[in-house]
Every structure is written in structure tokens, then in C-alpha cells.
Structure 1
Amino acid sequence: MKRRKKRQQQQQQQQQLQHQQQLQQQQQVEQRQQLQQQQPHQQQQLQQQHHYHHHHHHHHKQQQQQQQQEQQQQQEQEQQQQQQQQQEQQQEVIAAAAAAASVGKHTNDPTARSKPSSHS
């Protein structure tokens, strides 16, 4: 009876961890969407400048537009790297939690025992 109770506890822990991961994926999607919203806005501004100075510095303006696109791509890459780091950190946390759970299994931890079992 007690053994079954412990297994239930472990499953609950895993479900919580999965939930955390889902939340994080959602945050990443939101970040990506924000990036996409920023990008067209910047390009529009550049095109307006481009028309405005149509007579002089024609090539110069085109270069500027390209540079800003490259900057934007770099930002996106940096954000992806940050996201990877976050995921790695989370995996470490999960591993630690799993280790703690298995340790809890071996040592009869009093908190699990003192809970009134519903099977009694």
C-alpha cells in the first residue's frame, strides 16, 4: 500500500516538471512573435527614409537597410542561444529533482509515511 502511494507522488512530480517545460516553450514562442513584429516595423522605417532621400545617397541607403537586417538576424541568433541555455539549465534541474526523488524512495522519508493513506 505504502509503495503505491510513493509511486503516485513521483508521478505528480514528473507532471509538474512537464508543465514547467510547456510554460517555457510558450514563452519562447511569444519571444519569437515579438521579434517578427519588430522586424517589419524597422524595415518600413528604412524604406521611408529611402524614398525620402531618393535623389542623393541612393546606394548608401540600401547598404544601411542591409546592415540593419543583418543586425536583426544576429539578435535572433543570440536569443536562440539564450533559449538553448535556459533549456539546458532546466534539464539539470529536472535531473536533480529526479535524483532527489529516487533518494527519497530509498530513505523512508517521514513526510510520505505520516500522510494518512486513502487505502487503509
Structure 2
Amino acid sequence: MTPHNELRLLPWSGPDGKPCFLSTDDTGGPLSRLADTTETAQLNVGQEILGHAMDVLADEEVETEELRLLARDLATALRDTLRVAVSRGHRLPALDPSTPIEANEGLRLSAAAFG
């Protein structure tokens, strides 16, 4: 295994709202597994909220307060999804900039890379 020298952005914030990071070479460790599970749950919640949003937006008589709550939930889900995307993006293998684009197109990721 190649040594891992990058910090993993975790899918939660610290008590002060600042990002939390994990430094480990063990992608199967307990904290890494908890982060993976949390990311999956956050993405699932985002999907559920998106489905709910589509229903709410189709209702022409929706109340302003419900739209406000929906906007808050969507913003939270988007924040979580972006954090997952950044975290996973940092863990993707880097492409060699000196390699022609055609050679890099053969890069294959396992399904696990996408949750």
C-alpha cells in the first residue's frame, strides 16, 4: 500500500464548527468505517430531501414556512454532499499531468469509490 500522507476530511464538524480530519493509512479502521457509514447516510438523506422538495415544489398552494424549512433542509443536505464530494475527491488517485489525456482515460475506479 502506498503511504497515505493526506488528511481525510470527515463528514462532521467539531464542536466549534470547524472541519475534522483523520490521518491514517488504515482505510478499514473503525473511524474510517464510521466516516464511510456517515457519508452514505448523509447522501441518502439528501436523496430523500430532494424527493420531498420535488413534491413540495409541485404543490401550488405550499405555505411560505414550509418552503423556508425545505430551503434550510436542502442547504444542509447540499453542505453535507459537498463535504462528501471534497473528501472523496481528495482520495482519488492523482492523474499524471505529463501523461496524454487518452492514457488517463483508462483509469477505473471501484464502485466503492462512489459509496
Fold-level similarity (TM above 0.5): no
Higher helix residue share: 1
More strand by proportion, 1 or 2? Answer: 2
TM-score by length of 1: 0.35
- State the TM-score, normalizing by the size of structure 2: 0.36
Q: Larger radius of gyration, structure 1 or 2?
A: 1
RCO comparison, higher one (Cα < 8 Å, 6+): 1
